[in-house]
Every structure is written in C-alpha cells, then in structure tokens.
Amino acid sequence: MAAYASLFQGCRPIWEPDEGRYTAVAVQMLESGDWIHPRLHPAHPHYSKPPFTYWALAASLAVFGRNEWAARMPNALALAALIAIAARLGRRFAPRAGWAAGFAVATMPGPLVAANVVTTDTLLAAWEALGALGFVTAWWAGDERQRRRGAFLMWTAFGMAFLTKGPPGLLPLLAFAVFALLERRWQGLAAFRSAAGLAAFAVLAFGWFAVVIAQEPVLLRYFLFNEFVERIASGVHRRNPEWYGPFKAYLPGLLLGSLPWTLPAMKGLGRGLADLRRRSPGAAAEDRLLALWVGVPLVVLSLAKSRLPLYVLPLFLPLALLAVRRLPFPESPRLRGARMWTAAALALATLGLRAVPWHPAPHRDALRASREIAELAGAVPAEVLFVDTRPWYGLSFYMGTQVDRARLHPVRLPDGRDEALARHLERAIRGPRLVAGWPQLLDEIREQARSRGYAVEPLGIIDGLLFCRLGGER
C-alpha cells in the first residue's frame, strides 16, 4: 500500500501558494533547528496551523533530501494508513468483503489527488480514521479490556488530529458523541471512558499550544479569535463565505472525488439518514453511525464561513464504507476473477491521474519561478521581499532563499508582527537582496529603500511582478 500510495509523488514541481508555504516552514525548521516555532522566514513566525505537518515534512526532507517526492512522502504514508484502516473498518461495516472498503478509498480520485498536494488534510484524514477505528473498537467491544484499548486509541488519535489541524480534527468525535447519545442516551458515553486516553489527548492536543502561549501570551488571542472564531463566523479569509459556498467548495469534490463509488455511497447515506428519522425495525446501528459520521462534520463545515474543497477529505472514508456496505459480492470463481480485473483497472486508472503531465498557471510553479529569478538576478539571492503581494515561498525550497512579505504601509498583524518594508530593510542580510512588487509601486519602493540607504535597480518582470535588486548601503 505504501508503494502504491507513493507512486508519482514527485511528478510535478512545488506549487504556490499552499505547497510553497508548507515546504518553506519545513526548510526553516531544518536550517534553524527550531522545531517548536514554525517560521516562514527567520524573522517571521507562522502559527496558523499546529506543527505536526511541518514536523513530518521536515523529517522526510531530512531523510530523503530536498525534492518533491520527499515533500509528498508524509502524505503517501498517510494515504496508505487510510487505506489500511478502511479495510480494517470494513470488517465491521461490510463483513463479507471488508477489503472492498480499502479498495474503494484507494480508487477514489479525491484521496489520491489530495495525497499529491502538500497540505495538512491527508495527514488529518489518517488520524481521524485511526480515531474512528478506536471508537468502533470500543463501541462494539467484546469485553472491558477491548473497550479500554479502543477508547485509548481513539483519544490518542484525536489528540494527533488536533496537533495536525486544531479543532477541525475533532469533528468525527462530535459525530460519534451524537451517535452514542442517540443510541444509548447518556450511558452511551461510557464507550469514551479512558483516563489514560484523556491524558494522552490533553498532552498531544494542547502541549505545544501551552508551550508557545507561555512564551508569547499574545498567541492565546490569536489562536482563539483569528484562527477559530474568525474562520467560523466571518468571511475575513475569503474562502467561499457566501451562502452558496458549501455547494461550490464541497459538493463537486464529494461527488466527483468519490467516483466510481458515488452512487452506492449516496444511496447508503440516504438510507442511514432515513433510519435516523424513522428508527426502522431491524435497521443496523452501523448505517446510523456512518450517516452521522458524514452528516455532522459536513453540517459544521458548511456553517463555518471558511470553506475549501480539501476540508471534506476525511469524509471519503465513511463514504467508502457506505458504498461497500450492501454491494453484492459474487462468490463464483469467474465473477471473482472479473471483479479483480475490474479492480486493478480502476486502481491503475485512478493512480494515473498523478502521472498525467500537469500544466498549472505559470505563477503556481515554484521551480520555474526560481530558475527565472536566478537568471534575472545573475545569482541566487539571499532574500526576496514581496511587497504588497503574496510571497512565493516555494523559492526557499528550490533556492535556499529567504522569502518574506513586506508592506509599504505599516500594518500590525494579529500575531503582533509588523510587516512594514522599512522595518524589513533594517535587517542585515548577507548576499544579494531582491524586492518584488507590482510595477506601479516602484516609486514608493524606491522612496522607502532610499530612506534606509539603499538604491533600487529594476531587473525585469516575472509573472507580472517587477523584480529589483537592492544596492549596497549608500
């Protein structure tokens, strides 16, 4: 499974903005040796996500070298784990063909494509899947010892989910709590009982936050307000906050990303939701659990004002289980052979999505941009400052260049930083330094640079941005 998941992971360059940002933080960790404080630049802490994804990336780059395959290896391992957990859960939800759940996840375009993009989401999906396995083990445990083991696994995995992406990692836990209350009322919560598990959860989920908040108290408000309240209640991040945002951000990905299993998955989801209303005689608790596992997180994600397609990636596992739960699996050798050949063809076709040559918009290719900048400047710059525009952080992955954002007009950021260009220019940098911005900003950039004793030499335009060399102090 690991070999399958890792194929073609290095088939394309790092893309801006997300992959460039995540890899830049990992590179900074390796260069600075500081694995506690994520940074995009030595002077630019970056606390928008908990650190586990950065740790995994940095460890992979340290072992396999600074290349695209290594940057995506943590996602490949997470996808392999997700497939294995799906197959294991399939024993409960589709006893006649538990393997089919793993196969469904392995052939869905959604998880395969997502694992080829450096973000937190595939790692999060794997931890949530492990937490779900713990809950299922505890709920249907044959004895108290098995229940305790399942509950401990659940809390530990959800602690890691929180360390990967914060509160969104607990959405399945909310669904499982709703299921337990509906099935057995308050007695159902006994399945969650584990003192050791809760202790592990507290350390894993909150330990890093406690350390950095103790060092920088301003981060408490940043985490609670800017990274939690604002993402839920406001559209300040401009991520599909409109009323139709869920239909735009989530629906296409769920329907297309679950092919060719979409139809049976939707039928299973409808059956489970209907049973939640009617409680039909003989209906299985498994159907209700899977329906809530999809429905509760989807409702919460839809109500939040920050929405991106990959936020629903963890839902592909319960969709796969719904899809295979009542599919007929013939037992005749001839039909089994046809099934296996069909399975192999589907797997190869889905995996082939990664091998197809990618042609992103030019400004998304960090490798091409790094080559053009080095050619334009005549050397690899020590630092590139992007003025009043989104930085190309992927340059640090390919060039070892420090990359940061600067603003012509001072703005105090929520985490306490000041990104004013004049303040950036007060820092001493060894080696060539470039500034990049829209051509119409050249006069203002020159004025601020001159006030700090620097001359500005325009070099040329790349993807609409004017790159300039800062001359020595005058």
DSSP labels, 363-407: GGBHHHHHHHHHHHHSS--SEEEEESS---THHHHHH--EEEEEB
Q: How much is the average pLDDT of 437-461?
A: 91
pLDDT of residue 474: 43
Q: What is the pLDDT of residues 186-195, one digit of tens each?
A: 777 888 999 9
Highest mean pLDDT out of 79-83, 180-184, 363-367: 79-83
Q: How much is the average pLDDT of 100-115?
A: 90
pLDDT of residue 281: 53
- Closest-CA residue to 116 (of 7, 22, 250): 7
Confidence of residue 147 (pLDDT cuts 50, 70, 90): very high
Q: What is the pLDDT of residues 237-249, one digit of tens each?
A: 677 778 788 899 9
The share of the chain scoring above pLDDT 70, in percent, equals: 88
Cα 218 from Cα 182, distance rounded (Å): 40
Q: How much is the average pLDDT of 78-86?
A: 96
Q: What is the largest CA-CA distance in the chain?
A: 85
Secondary structure letter of residue 97 according to DSSP? G
Residues 346/107, Cβ–Cβ less than 8 Å: yes
- 362 pLDDT exceeds 60? no
pLDDT of residue 364: 82
- 77 pLDDT exceeds 50? yes
Q: Which two tokens stand for residue 45?
A: 């802490």
Q: How much is the average pLDDT of 145-172?
A: 96
pLDDT of residue 303: 92
pLDDT of residue 60: 97
Alpha helices by DSSP H, 216-315? 218-221, 230-233, 245-249, 251-257, 262-278, 285-303
Q: How much is the average pLDDT of 44-65?
A: 95
Confidence of residue 118 (pLDDT cuts 50, 70, 90): very high
Q: Which two tokens stand for residue 429?
A: 């940098």
- Per the model's pLDDT, the better-predicted residue between 431 and 129 turns out to be 129
Amino acid at 436: A
Q: What is the pLDDT of residues 350-359, one digit of tens each?
A: 667 666 655 5
Q: Which residue has the tokens 């996840």?
A: 105
Provide the mean pLDDT of the chain: 87
Cα 157 from Cα 125, distance rounded (Å): 11
Q: What is the pLDDT of residues 299-317, one digit of tens each?
A: 999 998 888 999 999 999 9
Q: How much is the average pLDDT of 375-403?
A: 93
What is the bridge-based pairing of β-strands 383-387 and 402-406?
parallel
pLDDT of residue 338: 64
Amino acid at 276: L
- 392 pLDDT exceeds 50? yes
- Per the model's pLDDT, the better-predicted residue between 418 and 141 turns out to be 141
Q: How much is the average pLDDT of 276-302?
A: 85
Q: How much is the average pLDDT of 268-275?
A: 88
- 101 pLDDT exceeds 70? yes
